[in-house]
Structure 1
Amino acid sequence: MLDKKFLGQEIKKQRRSLGYTQSEVSVATKLSRNYISDIENGRYSPSVDSLSKIAIFF
């Protein structure tokens, strides 16, 4: 099982390295900005569908 805090940190690191805001990821993936923030801060573990949307965007 992948640690949700680690996963969130990696998503945030990737987003920042590509120069995207949480809002841009939100619009492109059709996931709420609050949900993106919660994932990045380790409060939620994303579903496979959500993680897939984020990965495809990146």
Structure 2
Amino acid sequence: MTEKNMLGTTIKKARKHKRLKQAQLADITKLSRSYISDIENGRYSPSIETLSKIAVCLDIDLNILKMTDIQV
């Protein structure tokens, strides 16, 4: 599993734990649903700002996401 996939898997698990759909996470974070999908599927590595928005929404420590992101 690549590091991008690890990041996406972590976000997806946290999102599902919060019982949110991708569209709901997208609405809350002001990101597109397709971008959320691309992150979860390892197609994109988001910026720290984007990771921060996702972490706040999912109530997870940003450091957990940063450890799985290849650009950090």
TM-score bracket for this pair, using the shorter chain length = over 0.9
- Percent of aligned pairs sharing the same letter: 54
Aligned runs of 1:16-55 on 2, under 5 Å?
16-55=16-55
Number of residue equivalences = 57
Report the alpha carbon displacement of residue 44 of structure 1 after superposing the two structures with TM. Answer: 0.4
> Alignment RMSD, CA only?
1.2
Q: Which runs of 4+ in 1 moved over 3 A?
A: none
Report the alpha carbon displacement of residue 3 of structure 1 after superposing the two structures with TM. Answer: 1.1
Q: Which runs of 5+ in 2 are unaligned?
A: 59-72
TM-score (structure 2 length as normaliser)? 0.76
Q: Which has the larger radius of gyration?
A: 2
**For residues 34 and 49 of structure 1, what CA distance do their matches in structure 2 show?**
18
In structure 2, what residue type is equivalent to 1:10?
T
**For residues 35 and 48 of structure 2, what CA distance do their matches in structure 1 show?**
14
